[in-house]
Structure 1
Amino acid sequence: MAITAAMVKELRDRTNAGMMDCKKALAETNGDMEAAVDWLRTKGLAAAAKKSGRTAAEGLVGVSVDGTKGAVVEVNSETDFVAKNERFQEFVGQVAELALKADGDIDALANMQMASGGTVAEVLTANIATIGENQSLRRTATLSVDQGAIISYVHNAVVPGMGKIGVLVALESAADEAALMGLGKQLAMHIAASNPMALNGDDLDAELIEREREIAKAKAIESGKPENIAEKMVEGSIAKFKKENALLSQLFVMDGKTPVADVVAAAGKEAGSPITLKAFERFQLGEGIEKEESDFAAEVAAAAGA
């Protein structure tokens, strides 16, 4: 397969590896982008890929909380200008409130009636025609607890409840609401910053763990260590990966030394009632979406006949 400059650039953007290393990786993997990422990582030439990938799409992430239930939604647009549009912001806010009843079902949310008339999907279509830019209702999720609190946080909010990273935290407890809100806000800020992949190490995706295991095996083999030592290296690598990517075992960003699980336990003791970090949701705008890049200067020159 012919390796193009665009392929090399994409791989370089994703891994921060050198241009020639990227070209070689693509050649070695016959142009398979994911395999090329793994090839570079095996050679120690790329950092571990996080679940978010490149963030390229625009729009807004919105959150809404009602008692012991919370919802988060992502609505995408082509440019950042739309995110600053009052009509678009009002739409995202209303959709986030409706999402509380959708229970994470994006199709159900799209078919819900809005107060202004018409379904979410119909109003979105009308907005596209009015604003003049393509938009899409991408995803939604909800969290709830029987007793306790749902805490929301938006990093660098454009307007209250809307921004580029939205987080929900579910705390199950009979503790005072003020104590839960304080802890929940700090945990949400930690989640926004550290981007954990799961609550516990055992909850991490099995395919992801197997992929990490294969990469660790390849590194161990290349190191030339004896088989028994290589096996210990692989298991150590997987244990470290789980610890660094599971929320409860991550070191709390507020002090950089205490595991999140210990932070929650200590807060429960101080509040006089056990606190369970039941679940979390983290939406980052455009994660996993690639948006075509264009050379604006080149487009202007071409239009001018240069």
Structure 2
Amino acid sequence: MANFSLADVKALRERLGTGMVDTKNALVEADGDIEKAVEILRLKGAKGNAKRADRSTSEGLVAAKEGSGSTTLIELACETDFVAKNDKFVSLGDKVLDAVVAAGATTVEEALAASVDGQTVAQLIEDQAATIGEKIELRRVAVVTGEKFAVYLHRTSKDLPPQVGVVVAYTGDDADTARGIAQHISFADPQYLSREDVPTEAVENERRIVEEISRGEGKPEAALPKIVEGRLGAFFKQVALLEQEYARDNKLSINKVLSDAGLTVTGFARFKVGA
């Protein structure tokens, strides 16, 4: 019989987050040698990573951290909500975020190359995926620069880590309203700050579509320009933050709310897990 105890199994499981059967089998194979069992489990997990490469990752977490003149937002993805709420996965998210901020990374590629505990973030994630037993990936990184920041992290379920994250950069002194804008963004999902920020190609494509729809409805040719502009206005309300109706009071536009509060939004980022 292998020379190990239930306490050894428990300690190794807590260290690596591995399953009971896999942990016991590794200790048996290693004849009770803890460090050898760790190596066995890591090698087994690395082989599993290759098999999991094509699996989808629709669960996970978002996390944000403010630095000097910027705030970083990340999405760390996994396969199941069971892993998403695991303390080891949440801790991994914190460690990855700290490394990304310390490195000043602004893209996923830069973030994965960042250093953490003598290895890269990519290697850290791969090791954790091997021990946890699911595909894990750093899906997105955003860095918002500005003077002041409002951060809102929303939990869609009380037993899961935040699933929606918003960072708003702003100038002004009304922090409560700035947070309200961040909450609005989490709900309304604007793609751009203002209508001027919407790419010309996207606007022209929308114009073509609404004009075709209007003609198909039999609208008078002479009235088409006005009708099309009206429908474009509705499009801008969907995609441009400043054009949107405030979620807390749909009689007010975001632009009006900001003006009344003496705030100017200079940038924002929004991530939703799996979206």
> Does TM, normalized by the shorter one, top 0.5?
yes
Residue of structure 1 equivalent to 2:171: 172
Does 1:128 pair with 2:116?
Answer: no
**Whole-Å Cα distance in 2 between the matches of residues 162 and 80 of structure 1?**
10
Q: Could you tell me whether the CA contact under 8 Å between 2:59 and 2:81 is conserved in 1?
A: yes
In structure 2, give the amino acid aligned to 1:286: G
Does 1:240 pair with 2:241?
Answer: no
SS at match of 2:134: coil
Q: CA deviation at 1:124?
A: 0.5
Residue of structure 2 equivalent to 1:277: 265
Q: Could you tell me whether the CA contact under 8 Å between 2:151 and 2:167 is conserved in 1?
A: yes
Q: Could you tell me whether the CA contact under 8 Å between 1:61 and 1:163 is conserved in 2?
A: yes
Q: 1:230 aligns with which of 224, 229, 243?
A: 224
Q: CA deviation at 1:67?
A: 5.2
**Whole-Å Cα distance in 2 between the matches of residues 82 and 160 of structure 1?**
11
Q: Could you tell me whether the CA contact under 8 Å between 1:111 and 1:121 is conserved in 2?
A: yes
Task: Using structure 1 for the length normalisation, give the TM-score.
Answer: 0.66
Task: Give the count of matched residue pairs.
Answer: 219
User: Residues 56, 98 of structure 1: CA spacing in aligned structure 2 closer, same or farther, 3 A cutoff?
Assistant: closer
Aligned residue runs from structure 1 range 54-203, under 5 A: 57-66=58-67, 68-100=69-101, 101-114=103-116, 116-145=117-146, 147=147, 149-156=148-155, 162-173=161-172, 175=173, 179-180=174-175, 182-203=176-197
Larger Rg: 2
SS at match of 1:282: strand
* 1:31-85 superposed Cα distances (whole Å, 9 cap, x missing partner): xxxxxxxxxxxxxxxxxxxxxxxx9811111111235421101111111111011
Task: Using structure 2 for the length normalisation, give the TM-score.
Answer: 0.73
When the two chains are superposed, the root-mean-square deviation of aligned CA atoms in Å is 2.3
Give the % identical residues.
32
User: Residues 94, 158 of structure 1: CA spacing in aligned structure 2 closer, same or farther, 3 A cutoff?
Assistant: farther
Q: Could you tell me whether the CA contact under 8 Å between 1:93 and 1:162 is conserved in 2?
A: no
SS at match of 1:283: strand
**Which segments of structure 1 move beyond 3 Å, counting only runs of 4 or more?**
157-162
Structure 2: which 5+ runs fail to align?
1-55
In structure 1, give the amino acid aligned to 2:108: I
* 1:258-291 superposed Cα distances (whole Å, 9 cap, x missing partner): 11111112112xxxxxx3211110001111xxxx
Q: Could you tell me whether the CA contact under 8 Å between 2:193 and 2:242 is conserved in 1?
A: yes
Q: Could you tell me whether the CA contact under 8 Å between 2:237 and 2:245 is conserved in 1?
A: no
In structure 1, give the amino acid aligned to 2:88: R
SS at match of 1:97: helix
